[in-house]
Chain A
Amino acid sequence: MSTILDLHSHSEASEDSRAPLEAYLNWLKLRRAERPVEGIVLTEHRQFNKDADYRTLEDKFNILVLKASEIETDYGHMLVFGVTDEMTRRFDFANVHLPAQEIIDEVAGMGGAVVPCHPGRPNVGLFEHYSKKQPLQNVIAVEVYNGGSRKGEDERSQELAQRFGYGEVGGSDSHLVSLIGLCATRFEADVRNIEELVNELKRGAFEPVDFRPRRKPVQPAVAVEVK
């Protein structure tokens, strides 16, 4: 019993994505052998789509679709799982300067979970802020595999996650259809809804998984003698 979920994706509801949810699900269905992802979490930027109902598409493709949010804080970007009305009343998700420590603590108290994403990324990653400010308390996990990472960012995330003893998750951070499911998280238990996802994040029985194709090393150039 386990569940593999892509915890970080953006549909066309985010202003910088053009990916329709149905295209994501179709892509995953067609590439299940390469990316055995059983569900995705839509983490739209600075918003939570409370009324969005994806059950018809879930049934059509037999892929779980959960809803969360990616917010912007004074310690970088963070994924909020288990969003409630109480949270959106308390915090303005459109604010790009949300107070990270308050968010982490209060969201946990309201039944949710917060996971800093791409923590090794410049400017919007958690660990750059750690070089200037006190580390945050009560961080349960960080995203160490991010499908949009540039060279060295995931390595930095892993190194620092291990140093601080944080749990490690993965997500594609997909904004394009073909990138969905490239990184994900394998949960030890079955996860069938957002409440179970939050519980499992708090329980800590998960690991990041990476389905990105490995690039073949580039062969060094060989000098050719010109006659």
Chain B
Amino acid sequence: MNGSAEPSKRVCEVRIDMVDYDPNLIGSVFEVTDPVPVTAEMVKDFCQAIGESGPLYTEDDAARQGPHGGIVAPPSYAITFRNGRQFFEHIPRFGRQGFDAGKDVEFVAPIRPGDTITLSSHVKEIYEKTGRTGSMVFVVVRSTLKNQNDEVVAHVDHRFMNRP
């Protein structure tokens, strides 16, 4: 055994088999949507649709005395904002098959009636893994939601699985 024999060269040999992509893909924003206004009516409708009855989201008086000083949208309202038409065209694909492997949502700040929300999307991460069914390449696209003050209100990470 010789652990120090040409380590960098041998690691490079191994990397030949790894998924190949342009590293400039990572981090570059490929889409920014038009601002979407949020109205009190929309928040109310959303609460009714999901059965949300929490007073911080539905009752003016209680919300005014709450931590946000007024009604805010429930956190899950963040996932109602749609990406633009070009979204799927910009997602890197590896192989011919794949599917939506889920979403992670990070709620950063409340969304309030009166806000206008803009989504900007970039490829956050590309990684490969192996499992019972074979090799997979995962592409994670992050959509960042910002309000009219350029404050981040949420991050939505879309995870797509590809079968190379």
Instruction: Say whether B14 faces chain A, with CB atoms less than 8 Å apart.
Output: yes
CB neighbours of A95 from chain B (8 A): 11, 14-15, 18
Query: How many positions in chain B have a CB within 8 Å of any CB in the partner chain?
Result: 19
Instruction: Say whether B17 faces chain A, with CB atoms less than 8 Å apart.
Output: yes
Determine the distance from Cα of A123 to Cα of B3 in the docked complex, in whole angstroms: 28
Q: Are A94 and B132 in contact (CB under 8 A)?
A: no
Q: Are B131 and A98 in contact (CB under 8 A)?
A: no
Contact of A94 among B1, B10, B127, B131 (CB under 8 A): B127
Q: Are B132 and A124 in contact (CB under 8 A)?
A: yes
Contact of B135 among A15, A45, A96 (CB under 8 A): A96
Nearest opposing residue in chain A for B10, CB measure: A102
Instruction: Say whether A110 faces chain B, with CB atoms less than 8 Å apart.
Output: yes
Instruction: Say whether B85 faces chain A, with CB atoms less than 8 Å apart.
Output: no
Contact A121:B132 (CB < 8 A) given known A94-B127, A106-B1: yes
Instruction: Say whether B96 faces chain A, with CB atoms less than 8 Å apart.
Output: no
Determine the distance from Cα of A96 to Cα of B129 in the docked complex, in whole angstroms: 6
Instruction: Say whether A72 faces chain B, with CB atoms less than 8 Å apart.
Output: yes
Instruction: Say whether B134 faces chain A, with CB atoms less than 8 Å apart.
Output: yes
CB proximity of B151 to chain A, nearest CB, Å:
26
Instruction: Say whether A77 faces chain B, with CB atoms less than 8 Å apart.
Output: yes
CB neighbours of A98 from chain B (8 A): 14
* Interface residues as binary, B103-140 with A (CB distance below 8 Å gives 1, 0 otherwise): 00000000000000000000000011111111100100
CB proximity of B54 to chain A, nearest CB, Å:
24
Instruction: Say whether B23 faces chain A, with CB atoms less than 8 Å apart.
Output: no
Instruction: Say whether A207 faces chain B, with CB atoms less than 8 Å apart.
Output: no
Instruction: Say whether A92 faces chain B, with CB atoms less than 8 Å apart.
Output: yes
* Interface residues as binary, A77-114 with B (CB distance below 8 Å gives 1, 0 otherwise): 10000000010011110111111001001101110000
Chain A interface size, as a band, is: 20 to 34
Instruction: Say whether A202 faces chain B, with CB atoms less than 8 Å apart.
Output: no
Instruction: Say whether A46 faces chain B, with CB atoms less than 8 Å apart.
Output: yes
Determine the distance from Cα of A22 to Cα of B34 in the docked complex, in whole angstroms: 41
Q: Are B14 and A15 in contact (CB under 8 A)?
A: no
Determine the distance from Cα of A145 to Cα of B37 in the docked complex, in whole angstroms: 54
CB neighbours of B11 from chain A (8 A): 90-92, 95
Instruction: Say whether B7 faces chain A, with CB atoms less than 8 Å apart.
Output: yes
Determine the distance from Cα of A91 to Cα of B1 in the docked complex, in whole angstroms: 15
Determine the distance from Cα of A94 to Cα of B130 in the docked complex, in whole angstroms: 11
CB proximity of A220 to chain B, nearest CB, Å:
31
CB proximity of B20 to chain A, nearest CB, Å:
13
Contact of A92 among B15, B132, B138 (CB under 8 A): B15
CB proximity of A156 to chain B, nearest CB, Å:
13
CB neighbours of B132 from chain A (8 A): 121-124
- 19 additional A-B residue pairs with CB within 8 Å, beyond A108-B1, A123-B132: A15-B127, A77-B130, A90-B3, A90-B11, A91-B11, A92-B15, A95-B11, A95-B18, A96-B128, A97-B17, A97-B18, A105-B1, A106-B1, A109-B1, A110-B3, A122-B132, A122-B133, A123-B133, A124-B130
A residues with a Cβ closer than 8 A to B are 15, 45-46, 72, 77, 86, 89-92, 94-99, 102, 105-106, 108-110, 121-124
6 closest Cβ pairs, A-B complex: A97-B17, A106-B3, A105-B1, A96-B128, A109-B1, A109-B3
B residues with a Cβ closer than 8 A to A are 1, 3, 7, 10-11, 14-15, 17-18, 127-135, 138
The 9 sampled A-B contact pairs (Cβ below 8 Å) are A92-B14, A94-B127, A96-B129, A96-B135, A109-B3, A121-B132, A122-B133, A123-B131, A123-B133
